[in-house]
Amino acid sequence: MDLKPIRNEKDYQNALKRLEEIFDAKKGTKKGDELEILSILIDNYENENFPIEMPDPIEAIKFRMEQMGMKQKDLAEVVGFKSRVSEILNRKRKLTIDMIRRLNTSLRIPTEVLIQDY
């Protein structure tokens, strides 16, 4: 087990290659411990170097509606009037705090996503 920090792309590629080699290691074994530590190092490197942007609030709502098989009339029950739903989805009306709370509860969209500017 020769673990070291991942500082550059070459280190990262080597770490990924090693991870693939020991991927099926049993937990609690030497290789299992290496796998766990290596996974953490890779995750940290990826989070620093390849951050994932938060999705656009309206796109997140549309995506979640699609996942749940919801129509605009279904969303109207969550945010209020049907006309409001259309205005929100067409970016003509901003989400209110109350709407954000209801969308978070009903559609399980994180508030951090919904409060962003769009």
Checking if the pLDDT of 59 tops 80, the result is: yes
For residue 40, being part of any structural domain is answered with yes
CATH of the domain at 98: 1.10.260.40
Q: How much of the chain exceeds pLDDT 70, in percent?
A: 99
Residue 80: pLDDT band (50, 70, 90) is: confident
Q: Which domain holds residue 72?
A: 57-114
**Are 72 and 44 contained in the same domain?**
no
- Tell me the three-class secondary structure of 45-63, residue by residue: HHHHHCCCCCCCHHHHHHH
Asked whether residue 28 falls in the same domain as residue 76, the answer is no
Residues 65 and 89 both lie in one domain? yes
Could you give the 3-state DSSP secondary structure of residue 74?
helix
* Pair (44, 65) in one structural domain: no
In this structure, the answer to whether residues 31 and 67 fall within a common structural domain is no
Model pLDDT for residues 83-105, shown as the tens digit of each residue:
899 999 999 999 999 999 999 99
Q: Please check the confidence at residue 25 and state whether its pLDDT lies above 80.
A: yes
Domain count, the chain: 2
Please count the other Cβ atoms lying within 10 Å of the Cβ belonging to residue 97. 10
pLDDT at 82: 86
**Is 82 a domain residue?**
yes
pLDDT band at 51 (very low <50, low <70, confident <90, very high): confident
Task: Say if 4 falls within a structural domain.
Answer: no
Q: What is the pTM of this model?
A: 0.58
Q: Is the pLDDT reported for residue 1 higher than 70?
A: no
